[in-house]
Structure 1
Amino acid sequence: MDERINIAIDGPAGAGKSTVARSVAEALGYIYIDTGAMYRAVTWSAREAGLNVEDDQAVTDLARELEITLAPGPDGQVVLLNGQDITDKIRSRDVNLHVSRVAANDAVRLLLVEMQRKLAADKGVVMDGRDIGSHVLPNAELKIYLTASVQERALRRFRESGDASGITLEQMEREIEERDRKDMERAISPLIRAEGAILLDSTGIPAGEVVSQIVTLGSKKLAEAKQDVI
């Protein structure tokens, strides 16, 4: 038996999924896959091409031509689009405002989900997003639903980009709430707490403590998986 499991971490925008998932992967020696970055890459490319993100067919046709690569870098994950480093570009406010619409594109989701499942086929993956435990990796041995209050999530995003984007913290809170609504109400793979997912609220809790909790849970799940085959 391969002594590894897959870990799915879902949750709303600004919950700290990427930071936590990356650290969990490092602690366990697993591969980290930021699925949100893949949707952001498609969104950024569509906006750069001048496409209307409401035009599902045009965005899908574009996505089919894209080569998205997630690679480790000195400061975390590097996102390459057709060989171009767009790691910082996909975190812009413009991408934040449009990525939910692209993520609701059924054909784009099918393309990216297929890529994501292939990456996780050999186990030893920590994958974060909004529909990992419910749709992408429903058989993941450990599922986490990571959340935090809207106020805290907005503050985190504001510290990351608020000053640069020129918006207020209150505007950021409204945008986070709107993003939550779109993600939860979309018809295709909405944001939900997957069956069997463990709820972790990171409000007021240091990221390191959240990481430790998930690593401990992962170790327990691995032990259980070994016991099941004895």
Structure 2
Amino acid sequence: MDQGVIIAIDGPAGVGKSTVAKRLAARLGYLYLDTGALYRAVAWKVLQSKIEPADAERVARVLGHTTLHMQFQHGAMQVLVDGQDVTAFLRTPEVTAAASVVSAIPAVREWLLPVQRQIGQRGSVVAEGRDVGTKVFPSAPVKFFLDADASVRAERRHRELVAAGHGGALEKTHQELSGRDNRDRSRAVAPLMAAADARHIDTSTLSVDEVVEHMMAAVSAVS
């Protein structure tokens, strides 16, 4: 594929977006953009500021004195909030829960839109999230929408939490994913949905390598 293009990957939590996006970016020699990490960074700032994530007015105000930068080292994305590298804090259950709430606030989504598009201007980017192909990069020449059975997604997410030292009941993880799905799909601004021209991949029974091979075949078809 020609250098300079953007590949967009969307889908709900637990479908393997981050893993396959990183792998695909490495195969292509592209940058990997995790748009979800940006919402998590905002959530981290909100929590640090002792603000209730659902308080849209106060969350919007805190954006006015927040700086957000990304830097890429050896294919890995680091997120800096007000000059502090917060990458290591973005996957905790607390930040994850808060990110699900703040991401539904229109002011947050609008504030992050130019940040994401600025990275896309560099080209040669594999971007993953929940509205990448529909809102952030609607003109991306290659778009994927990943999905999987809800129970499979919950099991995957639960394994990630346990591996990161954040254990808990599988049923609780399943409930949290269901709530997140409902918020993502029903929010007023840029709800989670597949772009009309996205290629659908059900990852329920596929390995990471199999998903990446499907993607590589699609990329090669349009190169």
Alpha-carbon contact 1:11-1:146 (below 8 Å) kept: yes
Classify the secondary structure of the residue corresponding to 1:190: coil
Give the percent of matched residue pairs that are identical in Structure 1 and Structure 2: 38
Q: Which 5+ residue runs of structure 1 have no aligned equivalent?
A: 223-230
Residue in structure 1 matched with residue 94 of structure 2 by the alignment: 94
Give the drift of 1:78: 2.4
Residue in structure 1 matched with residue 26 of structure 2 by the alignment: 26
Give the drift of 1:117: 1.1
Classify the secondary structure of the residue corresponding to 2:20: helix
Residue in structure 2 matched with residue 226 of structure 1 by the alignment: none
CA distance in 2, matches of 1:71, 1:206: 29
Q: Which AA in structure 2 matches 1:181?
A: N
CA distance in 2, matches of 1:208, 1:72: 24
Classify the secondary structure of the residue corresponding to 1:140: coil
Give the drift of 1:73: 4.5
Q: Which 5+ residue runs of structure 2 have no aligned equivalent?
A: none
Residue in structure 2 matched with residue 217 of structure 1 by the alignment: 218
Give the drift of 1:83: 2.7
CA distance in 1, matches of 2:97, 2:108: 17
CA distance in 2, matches of 1:211, 1:43: 30
CA distance in 2, matches of 1:82, 1:212: 39
Alpha-carbon contact 2:43-2:95 (below 8 Å) kept: yes
TM-score by length of 2: 0.92
Give the drift of 1:171: 1.1
Alpha-carbon contact 2:144-2:201 (below 8 Å) kept: yes
Q: Which AA in structure 1 matches 2:68?
A: I
Residue in structure 1 matched with residue 9 of structure 2 by the alignment: 9
Residue in structure 2 matched with residue 200 of structure 1 by the alignment: 201
Q: Which AA in structure 2 matches 1:98?
A: A
Residue in structure 2 matched with residue 191 of structure 1 by the alignment: 192
State the aligned residue count: 221
Give the drift of 1:26: 1.2
Q: What CA deviation, in whole Å up to 9, does each residue of 1:172-220 have, x standing for no partner?
A: 1111111111100111110001111110011121112211221221122
Classify the secondary structure of the residue corresponding to 2:87: coil
Alpha-carbon contact 2:31-2:75 (below 8 Å) kept: no
CA distance in 2, matches of 1:122, 1:89: 27
Task: Report the more deviating stretch, 53-62 or 35-44.
Answer: 53-62
Alpha-carbon contact 1:162-1:172 (below 8 Å) kept: no
1:141 aligns with 2:141: yes
Classify the secondary structure of the residue corresponding to 2:66: coil
Give the drift of 1:75: 8.8
Task: Report the more deviating stretch, 173-182 or 163-172.
Answer: 163-172
